């Protein structure tokens, strides 16, 4: 099959419109007060831990980096240098379905030792959501929903994108609340590796 440059431009343009429109619709539907409460929970924590698998895990790791730039103590759960979670900490647990075994298990451990759990999911009635102190619902399709009723994108793409974008929006809000310059945040940016 040969694809011409004109066909490629049209296809990219259509794909871009789908991604932008779906993310705008989703993010505009999110309850801001829940994210404000999440921001308070995160900034008052002794240490912030994040966990997620696959692309969801990558998105929450990007959020962790921005929280670190704010000066918060942040660790990716499961990394060899991550300390034990404990009382006064918060675990940001991300799973579109809310059933990912390792993420739900981490939430159980966090709750057992007195840490707070912040669940980010599409499913407000999921096992992960039931373990959480605060549930942030991103109304994207489950990755096994192939109906195209909620998203025309593949698998969990809309959820994963919205995790990144919602946390970037939360970062913007938190950054302006702490009144730190971009130069101050940059001092915390990685400079080796």
Q: Does the pLDDT value for residue 135 go beyond 70?
A: yes
Q: Over range 132-142, report the average pLDDT.
A: 93
Q: How many CB atoms lie within 10 A of CB 68?
A: 17
Lowest mean pLDDT among 24-28, 149-153, 167-171: 149-153
> Does 160 participate in catalysis according to the annotation?
yes
Q: What is the pLDDT of residues 102-123, one digit of tens each?
A: 999 999 999 999 999 999 999 9
Q: Over range 5-15, report the average pLDDT.
A: 77
- Going by C-beta distance under 8 Å and a sequence separation of 6 or more, which residues neighbour residue 60? 50, 51, 52, 92, 94, 120, 163, 167
CB 151 within 8 A of CB 141: yes
In 3D space, the residue among 63, 166, 170 whose CA is nearest the CA of residue 122 turns out to be 166
Q: Over range 90-107, report the average pLDDT.
A: 98
Q: How confident is the model at residue 182 (pLDDT cuts 50, 70, 90)?
A: confident
**Fold of the domain built from segment(s) 5-186:** Rossmann fold (3.40.50)
Catalytic residue among 33, 79, 160, 187: 160
Higher pLDDT among residues 63 and 149, named by residue: 63
Q: What is the pLDDT of residue 148?
A: 81
């Amino acid at each position: 099959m040969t694809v011409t440059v004109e066909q490629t431009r049209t296809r990219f343009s259509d794909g871009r419109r789908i991604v932008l429109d779906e993310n705008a619709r989703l993010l505009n539907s999110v309850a801001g007060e829940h994210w404000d409460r999440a921001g308070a929970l995160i900034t008052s924590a002794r240490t912030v831990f994040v966990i997620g698998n696959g692309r969801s895990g990558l998105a929450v790791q990007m959020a962790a980096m921005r929280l670190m730039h704010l000066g918060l103590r942040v660790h990716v759960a499961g990394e060899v240098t991550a300390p034990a979670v404990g009382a006064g900490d918060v675990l940001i647990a991300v799973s579109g379905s809310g059933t990912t075994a390792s993420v739900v298990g981490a939430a159980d451990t966090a709750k057992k030792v007195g840490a707070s759990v912040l669940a980010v999911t599409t499913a407000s009635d999921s096992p992960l959501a039931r373990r959480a102190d605060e549930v942030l619902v991103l109304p994207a399709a489950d990755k096994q929903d192939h109906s195209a009723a909620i998203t025309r994108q593949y698998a969990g793409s809309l959820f994963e994108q919205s995790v990144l974008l919602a946390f970037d929006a939360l970062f913007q809000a938190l950054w302006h609340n702490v009144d730190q310059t971009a130069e101050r945040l940059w001092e915390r940016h990685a400079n080796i590796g």
